[in-house]
Structure 1
Amino acid sequence: MFKQGDSHQLTLKWRSMFAGFAAAVMLMPAVAMQFTDEVAWGAEDFSAAAVLLGGVWLAVEFVLRFVSGAANKVIAILMIAAAVVATWAHLAVGLY
């Protein structure tokens, strides 16, 4: 279905899309803090977001490299996304 070069192109697209997404996630609160007092992130908040996004990056890279089968990859990535959303929500409401 895919040739080896196609897989490499998909990997490059995934990496660039995720890098853009991660940059947007990190920039949104920084920009919002300039306009409102409702957003008040500190260094620890930005660090936690960076660690969480970096962990997602590593986990998805692991799945793409070592999990076989398209359905298994999709399931694993959805599980990673669910774990990240749950973790982000817990951190957002202060359940450390």
Structure 2
Amino acid sequence: MDTAHSDRRRWRARRWGAIGALLLAPVLGMAVSDQVAWGPADFLLAGLLLAGGNLLYEGLSRRRPTLQRRLIAGAIGLAVLVLWAQGAVGIL
């Protein structure tokens, strides 16, 4: 089996797993505190934002050199972070 291909598959699984873990964090927070109050719409929007960013990365990074993939990941990650912060507290 091609090791580059298996590495990409492994990283893909890790990214999707990280998205799941990020969406589980508020569930755990709501279980232990009244300060975290997410509704279904919050989970839907967070899931769409994270999954959309990941799908965008997967589409844009395919068949690109490592440096370009890292730059794409950084740009998309920054955009997701800014959108998340804007949605959370309206910083901009």
TM-score normalised over the length of structure 1: 0.85
Q: Distance in 2 between matches of 1:65 and 1:16?
A: 15
Give 4+ residue runs of structure 1 displaced > 6 Å after superposition.
Answer: none
Matched, 1:8 2:5: yes
Q: Please name the residue that 1:64 is paired with.
A: 61
Q: Please name the residue that 2:80 is paired with.
A: 84
Paired-residue identity, %: 33
Structure 2 spans left out of the alignment, 5+ residues: none
Matched, 1:50 2:47: yes
Is the Cα contact below 8 Å between 2:61 and 2:72 reproduced in 1?
A: no
Structure 1 spans left out of the alignment, 5+ residues: none
Q: CA RMSD in A?
A: 1.6
TM-score normalised over the length of structure 2: 0.88
Q: Please name the residue that 1:37 is paired with.
A: 34
Q: Distance in 2 between matches of 1:72 and 1:18?
A: 18
Is the Cα contact below 8 Å between 1:63 and 1:77 reproduced in 2?
A: no
* Range 68-77 or range 25-34, more displaced: 68-77
